[in-house]
Structure 1
Amino acid sequence: MRALLVDRSAPGGLRLGTAPDPRPAAHQALVRVTATSLNFGEVRHGLDGAPDGAVLGWDAAGVVERAAADGSGPPVGTPVVTLGAEGAWAELRAVDTALTGPAPAGADPGALSTVPVAGASALRALHRLGPILGRRVLVTGATGGVGRYALQLARLGGAHVIASTGDPDAYGPGLRALGAHEVVAAPAAVGEPVDGVIDLVGGGQLVDAYARLAERGTLVSVGHATDTGEAFPYGAFFGDQGRHDRTLTTFFLLACTDLAPDLTRLAGLVASGELDPQIAWRGSWERAGEAVAALLGRRLHGKAVLDLT
């Protein structure tokens, strides 16, 4: 099969070549991939740690070519969105059926391919906040792929949505169009306390966002764009300062083994137009080096999609 192979001598660290066809386990379907979307984390960290010749990739959309031998998952011919730790950047992918969601027939595979990491991370993070109808929800790093899905899903869930971005003047109109009621430059600029935070930045912004939590509020740490640690001031976790019972929590998406229903739900919302996948770059996988360079250069605010043509 053809695949994007790790090759540090090539532009972007990837070249189009050939690799052995995957051999699915009994609980895995064999999927013919038609589109894949890139994530900053897999490009920034995955390529650095992978050997030459490896086939990476988390997100892919395609069609089931061989159903799982154990009878789980969708049948042959079903359009699907898939998630895994590797293997998305290839014509064929062996993927766990628990991480494979049937998608509407006729939907754009490129749009569907943005769903797994960005959409599912946003949805699972919002689940961790609990009911959000009528509550104030802050999303930090709102211009990224996860952030843009989180804004839309929070607005659909009835929350008062606050987006945090480093340049509100440039990105404010677009974020408001996605569902943000307010756009601020940083968590410290938020006025009234918030009931929930989806943090995609880490570092000092996570610390400041936690300080804005209302009583019984929850902060879900999802992303770590700053690549720096968090230093909380003395007293940040005292419970007698008027805001007791606050929670800071994390999760790991690939440890969530029951994602198929979430992937299907999100794919349906994208296909119907209720969610905008926010594709910022799209092209043939022969141009993967361009997409990687744009991601690493922080020139994309939204998703990068590769069509396997």
Structure 2
Amino acid sequence: MRALAVDHTSPGHLSLTDVPDPRPAAHEALVRVEAVSLNFGEVHGATRPEVPDGTVLGWDAAGVVVQAAADGSGPAEGARVVTLGETGWAELRAVPAALLGTAPEDADPGALSTVPVAGLSALHVLRRMGSLLGRRVLVTGASGGVGRYAVQLAARAGAHVVAISRSSAQADGLRSLGAREVHPEPAAVREPVAAVLDNVGGRHLVDAFAALSAGGTLFSVGRSSEADAVLPPDALLGNEGRHDRSIRTFFLFGDPAAGFSADLTWLAGEIAAGRLDPGISWRGSWARHAEAVQTLLDRRLHGKAVLDLQ
């Protein structure tokens, strides 16, 4: 089969090549991939010299089951699915039933492919915040993949969403997704917030933590700034309404995989029904992968990049 594999001699450190077909285990379905979405973490990871040539990466993919799992778990042959795994940039992938969700037959595979990492991360972090009804929730990196889903889901849960985006051109779009406030940086937020989903790290994390009210929690989801977060000594004081605040880490694959199938199915249904905007801002054939990768690495992309395989 054809796959997009690490090649440190090529632009973007990736090239289309032939690799062996996957051999699914009894609990895995074989999926013919129709579209994949790219995440900065995996694209950046492909540039690392310690990743061997020929490695196939890719967490997010959508397609059709061509061989159901032998143990009877998961969907039947012919089902449209959205999948989470580690080798998505290929024509075929073997996926455990726990890591795939079913989707309506007429759903756009490109839109579905944006769901796994970004949609699941946003959903699982927001659940950790508890009831959001009437609470102020701050989302940094709001115009990125996780951020856009977080803004939409938090708004639907009744939160007063405070979105942070350094791009002023994204402000109207974020408001249309449900943000009540849009600021260029957390330091511009004037009223305390009950919870933070931070995708940026660095100074954004420091200032977002300072915006928390008593009992509030900041969830560190990403570090797109690649900058250190250096807290000043008084950041950890508990006086003046700063009591009992906390910072929590998050790792999607640290959550029980048993819950992903139902969540992927629900998110796919919301995408297909038009109740969630996938935020695709770059889309093209996987033959144009170098262009998509460079756009991501140059930080010129707001939203998701999608490669179509078919």
TM-score (norm 1): 0.96
* Structure 1 partner of 2:11: 11
Match of 1:306 in 2: 307
Distance 1:307 1:124, change over 3 A: same
SS in 1 for 2:4: strand
CA deviation string 1:135-191 (max 9, x = no partner): 1011001111111111111111111011111233x2211111111111111111111
Mapped partners of 1:249, 1:141: distance in 2? 17
Provide the residue aligned with 2:183 in structure 1: 184
User: Using the alignment, how far apart are the partners of 1:25 and 1:47 within structure 2?
Assistant: 30
What CA distance in whole angstroms lies between the structure 2 residues aligned with 1:219 and 1:264? 28
Structure 1: runs of 5 or more not aligned: none
Q: Which residue of 2 aligns with 1:91?
A: 91
How far the C-alpha of 1:46 sits from its partner, in A, is 3.6
The one-letter amino acid of 1:12's match is: G
Report Cα offsets for 1:69-88 as digits up to 9, x if no partner.
2322222111111011x210
CA distance in structure 1 between the aligned counterparts of 2:8 and 2:238, rounded to whole angstroms: 51
1:118-157 equivalence runs, <5 A? 118-157=118-157
- Equivalent position of 1:65 in the other structure: 66
* Residues 1:289 and 2:296 are matched in the alignment: no
CA-CA distance at 1:218 after TM superposition? 1.5
Corresponding position: 1:56 with 2:70 = no
Separation in 1, partners of 2:241, 2:108? 49
Q: Which amino acid aligns with 1:163?
A: A
Q: Is the 8 A contact 2:6 2:46 kept in 1?
A: no
- Identify which range, 189-198 or 47-56, moves more after superposition: 47-56
Q: Name the counterpart of 1:216.
A: 215
Equivalent residue of 2:209, what SS?
A: helix
Identity of aligned residues (%): 63
Alignment of 1:40-55 (within 5 A): 40-48=40-48, 49-55=50-56
Which residue matches 2:21? 21
Q: Counterpart of 1:264 in structure 2: which amino acid? A: T
Distance 1:288 1:90 in 2: 12
SS at match of 1:30: strand
Q: CA deviation at 1:242?
A: 2.2
Runs of 4+ with deviation above 3 angstroms? none
**Separation (CA, whole Å) in 1 of partners of 2:47 and 2:307:** 17
Query: Which residue number corresponds to residue 271 of structure 2?
Result: 270
5+ residue gaps, structure 2, are: none
Partners of 1:129 and 1:219 within 8 A in 2: no
| Comparing 269-278 and 249-258, the one that deviates more | 249-258
Contact 2:216–2:244 (Cα < 8 Å) also in 1? yes
Residue matched to 2:167: 167
| Maintained 8 Å contact 1:67/1:76 | yes
| Counterpart mapping for 1:107-118 below 5 A | 107-118=107-118
Shift of 1:27: 2.3
Q: Shift of the alpha carbon at 1:9?
A: 1.8
SS at match of 1:116: helix
Code of the residue aligned with 1:109 in structure 2: it is: P
Q: Indicate the RMSD between aligned Cα atoms, in angstroms.
A: 1.3
User: 1:4 offset after TM fit, Å?
Assistant: 1.0
What is the aligned partner in structure 2 of residue 2 from structure 1?
Answer: 2
Normalization by structure 2: what TM-score? 0.96
| Structure 1: distance between partners of 2:116 and 2:103 | 12
Q: Distance in 2 between matches of 1:68 and 1:237?
A: 51
Contact 1:143-1:175 within 8 A present in 2 as well: yes
CA contact (8 A) 1:28 1:69 kept: yes
Alpha-carbon distance in 2 for matches of 1:203, 1:287: 32
Alignment length (residue pairs): 307
Distance in 1 (alpha carbons) for counterparts of 2:17 and 2:134 = 51
> Structure 1 residues 254-263 or 235-244, which shifts more?
235-244
Residues 229-240 of structure 1: pairs in structure 2 closer than 5 A: 229-240=228-239
SS in 1 for 2:213: strand
In 1: Cα distance, 2:23 partner to 2:232 partner: 51
